[in-house]
Structure 1
Amino acid sequence: MPSVLLRRAAAAAVAALTALAVATPAAAGGSTIGSPGLGDPYFPLAGNGGYDVRHYSLDLDYRRAGNQLDATAVITARATQNLTRFDLDLRGFTISSLRVDGAPAWFTRDGQELVVSPRRLLRAGRTFTVRVDYAGQPTEVIDPDGSSEGWVTTPDGAFVVNEPQGSPGWYPANDNPRDKATFDFAITVPKGITAIGNGRLVSARSHQGRTTWRWREDSPMAPYLATATNGVFELRVSRAGQIPLYHAVDPAEVPNGAFDRLAAEASVIEFFSELYGPYPFSSGGGVVDHAPEVGYALESQTKSQYDQTPDPSTVVHEISHQWFGNSVSLTVWPDIWLNEGFAAWSEWIYDERHGGQTAQQAFDASFARPASASFWQRPPADVGGPEVMFSGPVYDRGAMTLQALRVKIGDRAFFSLLRDWYHRNRDGNVTTADFIRLAEKHGRQQLDTFFDVWLYQPTKPTTW
């Protein structure tokens, strides 16, 4: 198998090529057409080149009867090259109007690609706006592993989760985790229905039998972390220090203790704030829907989404993602272990510090799997493709990598590393190669063999 040094070089080449697709000025190659994708190894056409989104303003009017969404998206972006044409990602819908800087623009559809040709050249460095008026049925997206995401309808509304490619099922986006932006949501639903967006609740006003819920997320957010979950919910507001926490629970889940589980968020946030660094965002919370057919929870930014009442470890897992996954975000999807391995290890350290088994005991239990087990055949940084990107080794062997590193470099260096990793990369994007470099700095040793064994080799580690 290639060494970590060769893998580092390959990872750097991928990062350079994908960055080139986003940011190369037209003068370098002459093209004024933004690329239709960013070349992610798992989702090559996810995202688009030639511009950087700064803000999304989404005005969504939803009726569960007929699953009808009438919407306007206003996207504020900065051109990173001269542009005569650029793409957005959008699945389905009828577009009634598309304007760039207030002027009608030509557009065509090509699968998920919404291809836009403004009337005038957009020069590199210029900020511009795109307004898309669209309507139709939002799309439930089926992932390569068979799971559902995007706008997943429920009897009373929709459970809206997007990892990794569901966002274009309900709004036009530059659907790549590297293009973070702030968001405003205005979600109009029938009176009696609650609509949950990311960030702080700005207002909820009713008129003629319908209520518009306005939410604002003021920290940069990857498109897949947006939500507009809606339905019949009981909404309660509390605080974790100065941070408002919004807890929405489907009435069917209240008897199952959902509010009690969400109430633990404040203490979990306090714990991780002390361990990793200050909580990344200006609000928090969780949504417990009654949608067991979905089959998973998701760490939507500031509003973790649960398809049913979660167990305590799931709450810990999703909250830890606000640091690792949401604030510190991956650059390419094959590095998903940087999200899930960190969150799984966060469960271990939380248990260790709260009277449960130690992280080393959790490591030992996982390590007890025989060498012949299929678990060892999917190394977390080279798991094999999008159809298995959420498989067990990404979580558990990812967590084992961190615990083994803790033992190898010692607690003082290890916990300093985690805090520095968050501090350096807050609101940004990272790669496995970035983490290896920082680990070597804090551990004061060369760690190529260690990371090669734990992250890349499809066998059970024996020495490291």
Structure 2
Amino acid sequence: MTTSCTGSASGDGAAAASKPGAAGVGDRLFPALGNGGYDVTHYGLTLDYVPETNRLKGTAVITARATQDLSRFDLDLSGLRIRLATVQGAKARYRRQKDELLVTPAKPVHEGDIFKTVVTYDGTPRTIENDDGSLEGWIETDDGSTALGQPAGSMTWFPGNHHPSDKATYDITVTVPKDEDGTPYDVVSNGELTREEDKGETVTRHWRTTEPMASYLAHVSVGYFEVDRGSADDDLPVYVAIDPDESENAADVKDLVPEIVGWANERFGPYPFSSTGAIVDHLPELDYALETQTKPYFDEAPDESLLVHELAHQWFGNSVTLRKWKDIWLNEGMATYAEWLWEEEQGGRSTDEIFEDFYDGSDAESEGIWAFPPADPPSAARLSDPPVYGRGAMVVHKVREAVGDEIFFDILRTWTRQHRHGNADTGQFIALCEGKSGKNLTKLFDAWLFDKKKPSRTP
């Protein structure tokens, strides 16, 4: 435990009425994630990283609005050493409690105030190994590192309100040294590259995300990449970074990204961000991809289906973000159904045929899809289990069957428009489906989304 002290807080009536913000936002699956009492609007992250030693120095400027009178508030942070914390320019007291950083301002923050917290920190950022053996957090690669945040890994490299219900804009500035041959490391992150500075021995890159982003989608990759800059429909910038070890197998990614984004625009509504792209790394032992905002991350060269899945998440999950983690089927079920639509339109199985293959268990991805209802994962460790993906997509297909294609695609486009850059939940999706179709879909959702047992084919 490390503590830094400042003078005592004001003793006026407002100070007496203030109280600590909650540690957690009441998410059943992640009770310690997120914090109460404030809403973050912007993160300004300035990082110095040395790949050879895996050492990180950081300054986080967190701009937030108080939603109550605050005598103290929490930030989620795992590992790293705090050097200084200030609130509104004055030194703040702080202490560590597991993965929480408890910050006490010199003076209470009043409800409605916009306030800035600055945290300076350093150390070796952690890699988190989850119960299923998967890795997240700050992960070393053969030529640098990558930061992956689903569901909680972002708290290993910057302090914040790390629950998807609190989205914010980002400026991420990373300085890295050149290697022993004088070659600069590449730094790729979310949004647009707004500035590059070569200072002789180091290179600094500044990435900006102007649309709100959940912290689990924040990303930094440091290493050597072959970068292709292009454009998609309406001159949308496309930035594709590929590890040289994957360049041959991933040669078609730069062409597929704009093609898939254009295809999805027609089905899901306008692309929600100011740029797109992909990062193809060389980390096959990671064994998963992630829909990091604007540039999904792949541990190795992806096939078309996986590329469709992660790009579809830019609409379903990134722009329209879950309100609580139990609603993750809205992310994964929709993105999986996008794969089904793509396969059908590329001359493969129809969506009806894929549904049947999942229902009878003949599809390779169908194993385990009846283990639990998609809308009710039993634990945090099972967020990425088959029911969330395959059975989630089956729910989407059943809605399509029930309402017809015209209303179904109107539902998808309305969903992405109404909740653009916001948060939404299962109840809101059901209400939209019933409102657009004029039908009572209770039996459908009860059987396919909520029931623990495998439904009959036509309930």
| Number of the residue aligned with 2:392 | 398
| Number of the residue aligned with 1:109 | 96
**TM-score computed with the length of structure 2 as normaliser:** 0.92
Aligned pair partner of 1:420 in 414, 418, 425: 414
- Cα distance, 1:373–1:193 mapped onto 2, change above 3 Å: closer
CA–CA distance in structure 1, aligned partners of residues 338 and 257 of structure 2: 14
Aligned pair partner of 2:149 in 162, 167, 192: 162
CA–CA distance in structure 1, aligned partners of residues 398 and 283 of structure 2: 37
1:188 CA drift (Å): 0.9
Kept after mapping to 2: 8 A contact 1:150/1:170: yes
| Number of the residue aligned with 1:147 | 134
SS at match of 1:360: helix
Kept after mapping to 2: 8 A contact 1:88/1:173: yes
Aligned pair partner of 1:173 in 160, 164, 175: 160
| Number of the residue aligned with 2:193 | 201
Question: Is 2:215 the partner of 1:245?
Answer: no
| Number of the residue aligned with 1:456 | 450
CA–CA distance in structure 2, aligned partners of residues 174 and 323 of structure 1: 22
Kept after mapping to 2: 8 A contact 1:38/1:48: yes
| Number of the residue aligned with 1:386 | 380
SS at match of 2:197: strand
CA–CA distance in structure 2, aligned partners of residues 30 and 429 of structure 1: 31
Residue by residue over 1:209-234, the C-alpha shift from the partner in whole angstroms, topping out at 9 and shown as x without a partner, is 11101100000000000001111111
Q: Structure 2: any 5+ residue segments left out of the alignment?
A: 1-12, 179-183
Matches within 5 A, 1:19-418: 32-191=19-178, 192-241=184-233, 242-256=235-249, 258-369=250-361, 374-418=368-412
CA–CA distance in structure 1, aligned partners of residues 42 and 402 of structure 2: 43
Residue type of the partner of 2:143? D
CA–CA distance in structure 1, aligned partners of residues 193 and 70 of structure 2: 36
Matches within 5 A, 1:10-25: none
**TM-score computed with the length of structure 1 as normaliser:** 0.91
Number of aligned residues: 436
Kept after mapping to 2: 8 A contact 1:247/1:259: no
Residue type of the partner of 1:246? Y
SS at match of 2:212: strand
Question: Is 2:417 the partner of 1:430?
Answer: no
CA–CA distance in structure 2, aligned partners of residues 45 and 116 of structure 1: 16
CA–CA distance in structure 2, aligned partners of residues 36 and 144 of structure 1: 23
Aligned pair partner of 1:447 in 437, 441, 445: 441
- Cα distance, 1:194–1:374 mapped onto 2, change above 3 Å: closer
Residue type of the partner of 2:412? L
Residue type of the partner of 1:254? S
1:293 CA drift (Å): 1.1
Q: Structure 1: any 5+ residue segments left out of the alignment?
A: 1-25
Residue by residue over 1:50-108, the C-alpha shift from the partner in whole angstroms, topping out at 9 and shown as x without a partner, is 00000000001101122100111101101010011000011111111111111111100
1:374 CA drift (Å): 4.4
Of stretches 449-458 and 300-309 in structure 1, the one that deviates more from structure 2 is 449-458
Residue type of the partner of 1:421? W
1:173 CA drift (Å): 1.1
CA–CA distance in structure 1, aligned partners of residues 18 and 454 of structure 2: 48
CA–CA distance in structure 1, aligned partners of residues 57 and 81 of structure 2: 10
CA–CA distance in structure 2, aligned partners of residues 172 and 373 of structure 1: 38
CA–CA distance in structure 2, aligned partners of residues 204 and 259 of structure 1: 26
1:128 CA drift (Å): 0.5
1:137 CA drift (Å): 0.5
CA–CA distance in structure 1, aligned partners of residues 374 and 41 of structure 2: 32
1:291 CA drift (Å): 0.5
Kept after mapping to 1: 8 A contact 2:296/2:311: yes
Kept after mapping to 2: 8 A contact 1:54/1:181: yes
CA–CA distance in structure 1, aligned partners of residues 265 and 125 of structure 2: 37
CA–CA distance in structure 1, aligned partners of residues 251 and 48 of structure 2: 28
Kept after mapping to 1: 8 A contact 2:268/2:416: yes
Let me know the Cα RMSD of the aligned residues. Answer: 1.6
Kept after mapping to 2: 8 A contact 1:139/1:151: yes
1:31 CA drift (Å): 5.2
Kept after mapping to 2: 8 A contact 1:186/1:212: yes
Identical amino acids, percent of aligned pairs: 45
CA–CA distance in structure 1, aligned partners of residues 98 and 275 of structure 2: 36
SS at match of 2:35: coil
Kept after mapping to 2: 8 A contact 1:68/1:135: yes
Kept after mapping to 1: 8 A contact 2:368/2:386: no
Residue by residue over 1:121-179, the C-alpha shift from the partner in whole angstroms, topping out at 9 and shown as x without a partner, is 11000000011110001111122332100111112111211100001100011000010
SS at match of 1:376: coil
- Cα distance, 1:307–1:52 mapped onto 2, change above 3 Å: same
Residue type of the partner of 2:51? R
1:255 CA drift (Å): 2.1
CA–CA distance in structure 2, aligned partners of residues 36 and 86 of structure 1: 8
